């Protein structure tokens, strides 16, 4: 692994650049490099990476490509990389995309001579960074795990030789986690209006015993407020995953709408008290 290409230079891409500095020659490409005032453009000079004028230029000669873009760009990145990818170059897809999208990307990369591996990142990326827990999928997953571990990717689990199962695991889990966030947001806002939120939370302990339902509600609602846009996008991919399984995505689509809605109240997430957080949202909606 002498040369690594980062495609996508947002939060995850910049963490990768920081943690991989000195371990290999780094190149990077982001669509927003075309805008000098964008966050990726302003961040790039602060990292030991050479910016490519195009995805193909950044990819050329790479031993490993790390794709960290929005789900909507997943297949487009694979197409852009395929034109210049070297034979047997490993392509790690870190994006929160549906199994169908991952399979489409895998076909593009493998047909071009590369080795595609899907990754399902199973926890928020920033805390553990390279050591974040990831499920790997595809016939080249084991080879990637062996080569990437010395670079600092210590949370890798070879999950399946079939592309799509790792992503399906993450997306189906997201239906539950983001769904609970959405349900708590809707329930607690209505309960606060009626002045019964404490009673509702106490009653939940009878069915689902948690140490502190109020703290749990505040934390989970705050995640939607702070990261609603990103979570809504992931839920749309979760809905696609559900639909690919032949199941109506009624709940997943509704959760995406609630997550999108929550993003409009981002400032409320800094409130340390659940009641104050709910009051902040209620005032903004009045």
> Domain check: are 137 and 197 in the same one?
no
> Domain check: are 273 and 207 in the same one?
yes
Domain boundary pick from 163, 198, 222: 163
The burial class, CB within 10 Å (0-12 / 13-18 / 19+), for 208 is exposed
> Domain check: are 145 and 177 in the same one?
no
Query: In CATH, what number is assigned to the domain containing residue 112?
Result: 3.40.50.720
**What is the extent of the structural domain holding 220?**
171-285
> Domain check: are 143 and 236 in the same one?
no
Q: Are 18 and 40 in contact (CB under 8 A)?
A: no
Q: Are 7 and 30 in contact (CB under 8 A)?
A: yes
Question: In Å, how far are 193, 237, 263 from 283, measured between CA atoms?
Answer: 11, 32, 15
In angstroms, rounded to a whole number, what is the distance separating the alpha carbons of residues 221 and 74? 28
> Domain check: are 192 and 61 in the same one?
no
**Residue written as token pair 């490409």:** 29
Please report the DSSP string for 16-65 in residue order. HHHHHBTTBEEEEE-GGGGSTTSHHHHHGGGSS-EEPSSHHHHHTT-SEE
> Domain check: are 214 and 266 in the same one?
yes
Cβ atoms within 10 Å of 194's Cβ, excluding its own: 9
> Domain check: are 127 and 209 in the same one?
no
286 residues of the chain, pLDDT tens digit each: 799 999 999 999 999 999 999 999 999 999 999 999 999 999 999 999 999 999 999 999 999 999 999 999 999 999 999 999 999 999 999 999 999 999 999 999 999 999 999 999 999 898 999 999 999 999 999 999 999 999 999 999 999 999 999 999 999 999 999 999 999 999 999 999 999 999 999 999 888 888 899 999 999 999 999 999 999 999 999 999 999 999 999 999 999 999 999 999 999 999 999 999 999 999 999 8
> Domain check: are 226 and 134 in the same one?
no
Q: What is the pTM of this model?
A: 0.91
- Predicted local distance difference test score (pLDDT) of residue 60: 95
Please report the DSSP string for 237-279 in residue order. HHHHHHHHTT---HHHHHHHHHHHHHGGGGGGGG-SSHHHHHH
Domain boundary pick from 163, 180, 211: 163
Domain boundary pick from 141, 163, 185: 163
> Domain check: are 139 and 40 in the same one?
yes
- Predicted local distance difference test score (pLDDT) of residue 245: 97
> Domain check: are 187 and 214 in the same one?
yes
Looking at the structure of the chain, the number of domains it has is 2
**Residue written as token pair 């030991």:** 48
In angstroms, rounded to a whole number, what is the distance separating the alpha carbons of residues 40 and 53? 13
């Amino acid at each position: 692994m002498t040369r690594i290409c980062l495609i996508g230079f947002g939060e995850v891409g910049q963490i990768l650049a920081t943690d991989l500095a000195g371990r290999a020659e780094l190149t990077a490409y982001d669509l927003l490099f075309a805008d000098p005032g964008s966050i990726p453009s302003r961040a790039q000079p602060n990292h030991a990476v050479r910016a490519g004028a195009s995805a193909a230029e950044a990819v050329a000669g790479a031993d490993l490509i790390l794709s960290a873009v929005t789900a909507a760009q997943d297949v487009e990145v694979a197409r852009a990389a395929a034109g210049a990818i070297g034979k047997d170059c490993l392509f790690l897809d870190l994006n929160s995309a549906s199994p169908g999208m991952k399979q489409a990307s895998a076909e593009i990369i493998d047909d071009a001579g590369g080795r595609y591996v899907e990754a399902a990142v199973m926890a928020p990326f920033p805390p553990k960074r390279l050591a974040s827990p990831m499920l790997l999928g595809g016939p080249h997953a084991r080879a990637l795990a062996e080569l990437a571990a010395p670079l600092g990717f210590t949370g890798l689990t070879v999950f399946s030789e079939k592309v799509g199962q790792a992503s399906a695991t993450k997306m189906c889990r997201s239906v539950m986690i983001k769904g609970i966030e959405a349900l708590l947001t809707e329930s607690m806002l209505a309960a606060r209006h009626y002045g019964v939120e404490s009673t509702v939370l106490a009653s939940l302990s009878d069915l689902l015993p948690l140490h502190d339902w109020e703290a749990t509600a505040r934390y989970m609602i705050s995640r939607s407020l702070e990261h609603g846009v990103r979570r809504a996008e992931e839920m749309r991919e979760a809905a696609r995953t559900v639909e690919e399984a032949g199941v109506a995505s009624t709940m997943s689509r509704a959760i995406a709408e609630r997550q999108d809605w929550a993003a409009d109240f981002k400032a409320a997430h800094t409130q340390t008290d659940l009641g104050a957080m709910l009051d902040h949202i209620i005032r903004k909606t009045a």
